[in-house]
Structure formats: C-alpha cells, structure tokens
C-alpha cells in the first residue's frame, strides 16, 4: 500500500506515520528526516540544503524526488507512507512517474485538516528525546520527571532549528502557496480523504486506520 499524508507543518503527519510504521510495519518516507540526516552527516546534499531548510523554504524538487526514488528501490519496495512529500505539483508528477515505473500506484491521500493559528503554538513548543525520538511539548506534554525521557530515561532532548515562530510562518505560507494546490491533482483520481487533524492523536490514528482497513 502506498499512501500520502498531507498537511501543513505540525499537522501530525510525522507522528501518525511513525505510528503506522510501528503498528503495521509500513515504511515511513519523510523527506524532512532524510534531509536533516544529510545535513547532520555533512553530505554534499546536506551542505546544499541547510540554509534553505533553516529559512523554512522548500529545497529543490530534483533533490527530494531523487531521495524518494532511492528508497522506493530499497526498504520501501513493498509500500510507503509519504510524509512531507510531495510538496509541489512537480513533485506530485515526479512521484507519479516513480511509482508507475515500478508498477505501483497510490492508494490514498489523507489530508490532515488543521487550524493554522493553533499550529504555530503546537510547533514552536515541541521537542523530542535525542535518544528514542519520543515527542514532548513545553505547554502540553512535559516529561513526568523534569528533564528525563518517560520512555527511555535519557536526559538529552533536541529541538528543530526551524521550529521557531518566524520560520514556521514561512513554512505555512510555502504549504499554502505550493503544496495545497496539488490536492486537485489527487481529487481527480478520487483518492483524497480528509480528517480532522486537530482531534486527539488517538482519534486521528483511529480515523486513518478505518480508511486503510476499508481496502
């Protein structure tokens, strides 16, 4: 099964994709994670995209589509959750070709509908355990014991450099200008489902599950 999770930054795509990976053995393809790994490792791609990512703008279509292509021939050969990709019309068309070349197709595009004003608040307070990746929030979900991860006990946490208010606003406007307009492309295929991304995490997971289990 190949599905796209679509929605602005902070809509919960990454959280839901990680749950699907854990619970259903699906493979999460997050171009944001791949790019952050490239920046951390200092690869040529990482050096090229670092400043663009810090500004909250989109990196080139060719770079992200190449990253996706590599994974479709690797660990995601049997299906994928596209998280943060495609983000432009050109990427949607590239994905179409990448899948078609492999005799594959999209099953669902799930749009997480959210309230933008609340998103800035959600994104600017989030941080994760540096060890196990568990997500926390300054205002909504602090570790039970201050400074210690509830899950693995690590005392190291990290924040994304692009999760500040100004960059989040740029990321939102990039979403509005370039990503939301690709929805009609998928609507024409009759595969778009919309769910309320402001609902509690478990409710969102339940709705995604019922879409996937309908097949």
- Which one of residues 52, 90, 199, 211 is an interface residue with ligand AMP (CB under 6 A)? 52
Sheet holding 108-113, edge to edge: 28-30, 80-83, 2-6, 108-113, 192-196
Residues 178-207, interacting with ligand AMP (CB under 6 A): none
Whole-number CA gyration radius for the chain: 17
Kindly tell me which of 134 and 150 has the beta carbon lying closer to ligand AMP: 134
Does 71 bind ligand AMP (CB under 6 A)? Our answer is no
Identified catalytic residue from 36, 50, 87, 122: 87
Query: Taking the complex as a whole, how short is the minimal distance between the CB of residue 85 and ligand AMP, in angstroms?
Result: 4
User: Per-residue contact track with ligand AMP, 77 to 106, x per CB under 6 A?
Assistant: -------xx-x---x---------------
If you write DSSP's letter for every residue of 17-76 in order, what string do you get?
A: HHHHHHHH---EEEHHHHHHHHHHHT-HHHHHHHHHHHHTPPPPHHHHHHHHHHHHTTTT
Does 122 bind ligand AMP (CB under 6 A)? Our answer is no
**In Å, what is the CA distance from 82 to each residue of 2, 18, 90, 105, 191?**
8, 11, 15, 12, 14
> Residues interacting with ligand AMP, by CB under 6 A?
9, 31-32, 35, 52-53, 56-59, 64, 84-85, 87, 91, 162, 171
Residues belonging to the active site = 13, 87, 126, 160, 171
């Amino acid at each position: 099964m190949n599905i796209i999770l679509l929605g602005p930054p902070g809509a919960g795509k990454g959280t839901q994709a990680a749950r699907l990976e854990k619970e259903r053995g699906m493979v999460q393809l997050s171009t944001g994670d791949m790019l952050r790994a490239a920046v951390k490792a200092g690869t040529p791609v990482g050096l090229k995209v670092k400043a663009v990512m810090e500004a909250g703008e989109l990196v080139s279509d060719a770079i992200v589509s190449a990253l996706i292509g590599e994974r479709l021939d690797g660990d995601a050969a049997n299906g994928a959750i596209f998280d943060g990709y495609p983000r432009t019309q050109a990427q949607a068309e590239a994905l179409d070709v990448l899948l078609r070349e492999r005799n594959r197709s999209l099953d669902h595009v799930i749009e997480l509908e959210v309230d933008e004003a609340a998103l800035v608040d959600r994104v600017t307070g989030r941080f994760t355990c540096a060890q196990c990746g568990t997500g926390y929030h300054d205002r909504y979900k602090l570790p039970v014991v201050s400074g210690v991860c509830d899950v693995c006990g690590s005392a190291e946490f990290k924040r994304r450099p692009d999760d500040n208010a100004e960059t989040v606003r740029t990321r939102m406007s990039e979403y509005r200008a370039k990503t939301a307009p690709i929805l009609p492309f998928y609507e024409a295929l009759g595969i778009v489902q919309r769910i309320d991304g402001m609902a509690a995490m478990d409710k969102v997971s339940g709705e995604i599950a019922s879409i996937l289990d309908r097949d």
